[in-house]
């Protein structure tokens, strides 16, 4: 209804959807990855505040990744959407400074939105990998914040399900 305030969760859902579109992904990818991540967190018995951390970390993982679209477009021959779509499926073992920059943007956004410190901390880990060959800090396994681990599983499930044409094909892959 007109005049009603927009809830933070709705705003982040919309921003995540727009970021996905700008990267050449399905409009519902962020929503699907968030649903997988939070559903998994609930099934594993996380407390409601911890599930909320997973929710916000999952949605904020990709918000802001379109900030440099115009530069990427110039550098990559004019089609940053195609480049981003291909790049999301590539195993980047050393994202280095770029991951630090993107994680820092998400962390600053979390602080401005007054989200819990646990979400802010998890956003530093969203590009880490379980084997330690991911983000700029080189964290591995249990050293990665739980909300970031759930967000990663949710995103991978959503991306591979879309790429593989269905959940069953994604599981086989």
Task: Give the span between the Cα atoms of 58 and 105, in whole angstroms.
Answer: 15
Residue 45: what pLDDT? Answer: 97
Could you give the C-alpha distances from 61 to 8, 56, 72, 96, 172, in angstroms and in order?
15, 8, 19, 16, 26
Torsion over CA: 156, 78, 99, 96 (sign): positive
Residue 85: what pLDDT? Answer: 65
Residue 28: what pLDDT? Answer: 79
Residue 130: what pLDDT? Answer: 85
Residue 10: what pLDDT? Answer: 79
Quickly tell me which residue has 């089609």 as its tokens.
79
Residue 102: what pLDDT? Answer: 55
Q: Is 105 exposed, middle or buried (0-12, 13-18, 19+ CB in 10 A)?
A: middle
So where are the chain's domains? 8-172
Per-residue pLDDT 10s for the chain (173 aa) are: 556 666 877 777 777 777 766 667 777 778 888 889 999 999 999 999 999 999 989 888 867 555 455 555 555 555 666 666 665 655 555 455 455 545 555 667 777 788 888 988 888 888 788 888 876 678 899 999 999 999 988 888 887 777 666 666 656 65
CB 163 within 8 A of CB 172: no
């Amino acid at each position: 209804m007109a005049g009603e305030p927009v809830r933070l969760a709705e705003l982040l859902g919309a921003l995540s959807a727009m970021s996905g579109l700008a990267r050449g992904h399905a409009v519902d990818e962020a929503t699907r990855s968030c649903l997988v991540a939070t559903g998994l967190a609930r099934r594993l018995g996380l407390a409601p505040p911890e599930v909320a951390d997973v929710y916000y970390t999952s949605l904020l993982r990709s918000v802001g990744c379109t900030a440099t679209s115009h530069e990427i477009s110039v550098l990559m021959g004019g089609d940053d959407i195609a480049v981003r779509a291909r790049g999301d499926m590539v195993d980047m073992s050393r994202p280095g400074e770029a991951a630090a920059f993107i994680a820092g943007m998400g962390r600053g956004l979390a602080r401005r939105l007054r989200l819990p410190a646990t979400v802010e901390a998890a956003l530093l880990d969203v590009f880490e990998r379980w084997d330690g060959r991911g983000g700029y800090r080189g964290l591995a396994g249990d050293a990665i914040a739980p909300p970031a681990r759930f967000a990663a599983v949710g995103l991978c499930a959503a991306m591979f399900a879309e790429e593989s044409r269905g959940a069953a094909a994604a599981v086989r892959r």
